Every structure is written in C-alpha cells, then in structure tokens.
Amino acid sequence: MINSHAHLDFENMHSIAQNAVAIVPSIGKQNWTDVQMYPYFALGIHPWMVDQHTQQELDYLEYLVKCNNPVAIGECGLDYTKDIDKDMQIHFFVSQLEIAEKYKMPVIIHSVKATEDVIFLLKKHPKVVGEIHGFSGSQQQAEKLIGMGFKLGFGMQITNPKSSKLRSVVKNLPIGSILIETDDHINPDDLNIVAQEISQLKQIPVEELIQQCDNNAISLFELR
C-alpha cells in the first residue's frame, strides 16, 4: 500500500502502516537532507517556508533535484490562509513548476484557499503533472485538475462526517484519479482508515481501492 504523502522525517513520525511504502516530501532547506534517507522522496519549498528562502536556495534546490533523483518536486504550492506575501509564494511556486518542467518531473502541490490560482498557473505549464495533496477544492476544480493530468490526494479529513462537500467530491471522482495519504498524522494505521472510508464512499471493495490507488501512484511518480 502506497502512502502518497507522509512526513516521516518529522518528530514522532518514524513509522507507517504495515506493508506500506511512502513518498516523503520536503518542506524546505531544513529537511532536504533528511528526506533523502527514504527510498521515495520529493524535494521542494513549502509555501509556509518561502520567506525563509532566497533565490540562491532555489538555485540550489534545482542542483539537488538534478543530482539526487527525487520522485517529485514538492511540497510546493500556495496557501492563502497564511500571512505570507502572495507574490513571494507565487514566485517560489512558479520557479518550482519550471524546475519540474525542465526535468520532466511530477509536482506535489499544497493548495489551501488558492485552487483557482493554482489552476491558472498550472495552465501556463501544461506539461507538468502531479498530485494536489490534501485536496480541498470543489467538484468543478477537481474535474479541471484531473483533465490536466493531476491526481488528488486524500487523508484523514475524508473521515470527518462534517466534510460533506469533500466526501461528495470523492464519491464522484473516477477511481483512477485518487491517491491516499496521511500527511503529518502520527498514527500509522490512518492510511488503512482512509482507504476503508473511500472504499465505502465509492462502494467498492477496499482491496480494489488500494490496488488502484497504488497503481495511480506508481504511474504518476514512476516508482520502481
């Protein structure tokens, strides 16, 4: 079972579900080295961290990507709930999209209250594909992103009965567009819980759901 987004290098996050493998994204220069201890890792600058980075560090990120074989660029993106300059966020996001485009790599995108801007910027980089992790947008936005070649990641939020809009989106998505994840949740069994919840929403056997999500991740990130 493939966990498409797990911060295993964070404190208290050193385990994952039994029989699972994970893609471990970085959040910036502070853990570019740490994530490389895992078989599948991504290198990027999280939108929360952009004001702690310089253009020189963006250039160094590209060097690391070129030399260290990550499976993706990320976690990058936009988060408009944070008091961080939007223009700076956009600059770092677009710069990472350009790296992904140059090296023909997928991206792992963090998008909060910014999905329309993310879609707008992705349209300027039509060769870039990837994952919108922790997807929280609308059905219409989900369909746009899937049409652009993106997979949508879902974690424990999907188990909240109050998340009716999100649960409705998942129920209506094609199974080939779904990835499962735990993000920064420390319970290693959460991945199984997410898989069970989505299988119930889609009314398919959980084994079928897991197999398809694994295939989605393998295809997107070219896992070997």
The answer, as to whether pTM is greater than 0.85, is: yes
| DSSP for 197-211, written as a single string | HHHHHHTS-HHHHHH
At residue 19, the pLDDT reads 62
Cβ contact 98:58 at 8 Å: no
At residue 167, the pLDDT reads 96
Rounded mean pLDDT for each run of 10 residues along the chain, 224 residues in total: 92 67 95 94 98 96 96 97 96 98 97 97 97 96 97 96 94 97 85 96 97 98 92
Q: Which two tokens stand for residue 13?
A: 């996050």
Question: Residue 207: CB partners within 8 Å, gap ≥ 6?
Answer: none
Q: What are the backbone dihedrals phi and psi of residue 9, each rounded to the nearest 5 degrees, phi first? A: -80, -10
Query: For 106, left (φ over 0), alpha (ψ -120 to 50), or beta?
Result: beta
At residue 177, the pLDDT reads 98
Q: Domains in the chain, please, with CATH? A: 2-221 (3.20.20.140)
At residue 14, the pLDDT reads 61
At residue 84, the pLDDT reads 95
Q: Which two tokens stand for residue 156?
A: 């424990």
